[in-house]
Structure 1
Amino acid sequence: MIVKTHNLYLRRFTADEALLILDLNADSAVTQYTHDPIRDIVHAEEILHQVIIPQYERGLGRWAVFLAETNAFMGWCGLKYRPELDEVDLGYRYHKAFWGKGYATEAARASLEYGFNEAKLQRIVGRAEHANIGSLKVLEKSGMQYIGDETVDGCDVRTYEALAVNFIKEL
């Protein structure tokens, strides 16, 4: 387990959990703003082994999120180093059944705390498309500050950041 909160626990994905990723991405509402559909189980395995698991070596990662009360897989949340931008970003994705209940904000905040307190990061960014109101609310409620609009990966996004010095003061 990486992080435990009041309602959730976040842990590393295991090498045999590609089906969790495939099932999550099978819902077009979940991937509406992500622009990275998972085609099939082979593709999900590639994402797991080439993108998700290698981040764990850095002490970061997109972690599997579970509801503590039932052990239900909810989705993922966590931190990812993006070498092309030389930054760490906060990302998350959940099954629709868990939207609008505050769980994404709870996991995002816990991920930020982990990033600053455990990984000793100084800055974490988060981005969402302008139309993705739910994700924008998560970024704001988790304590990140809006810093501007930009185009990243071919998408127009709102960019937020959290700085260790400012974030730790809030806690």
Structure 2
Amino acid sequence: AFQVLSVGTSTGFATADSNIWPSYSHLILIFLSLQCAGAGSTSGGIKADRVVLFWKAFVRQIKRVMYPNAVIPIKMGDSSVKDQLVSNSVLYIGVYLMIVFISTLLLSMVGVSLTEAFSGSVATMGNVGPGFGSVGTTGNFSHIPLLGKWVFSMVMLIGRLEIFAFFIFFTPKQWSKSIAY
């Protein structure tokens, strides 16, 4: 229970060796590492509100296929959510998962095992602390090749600053002197 709470809130503290736990518990921790906390949290995960919007958009799309002429708003509480916000949330989740996939691929190419590459990418993107394998609760990232450490560092930075803010920071227009405020 403590590990679940620690990962779900991106505390990163571990009290037991999660590598000896059953595989299904790893899946639960990976899911929590991807989601991490709620709206307004400083954790680096996808956030619960985006996951809820994603799910509601998925359900709405199924209903639209069944009833093509229906108007089906997405609601959070009593308020309707604008389609732009729903699109942004779905896009964010897609880009988030793409970054995890690409970083896992890059890490695998430099000799990191698939378990360590994937769980480490999820852990660093969400800033949750440990992954699995040798980057798990009883290990660390010291044995990762230098290029792999750079990949993990970049992923950690992207996850911590939020994806869109990170990429906006590096757009050429952001650095031009002709920006009107």
Please indicate, yes or no, whether the TM-score normalized by the shorter chain is above 0.5.
Answer: no
TM-score, normalised to structure 2's length? 0.28
Q: Which of the pair is proportionally richer in helix? A: 2
TM-score, normalised to structure 1's length? 0.29
Q: With CA pairs under 8 Å and 6+ residues apart, which has the higher RCO, 1 or 2?
A: 2
Instruction: Give 1 or 2 for the bigger CA radius of gyration.
Output: 2
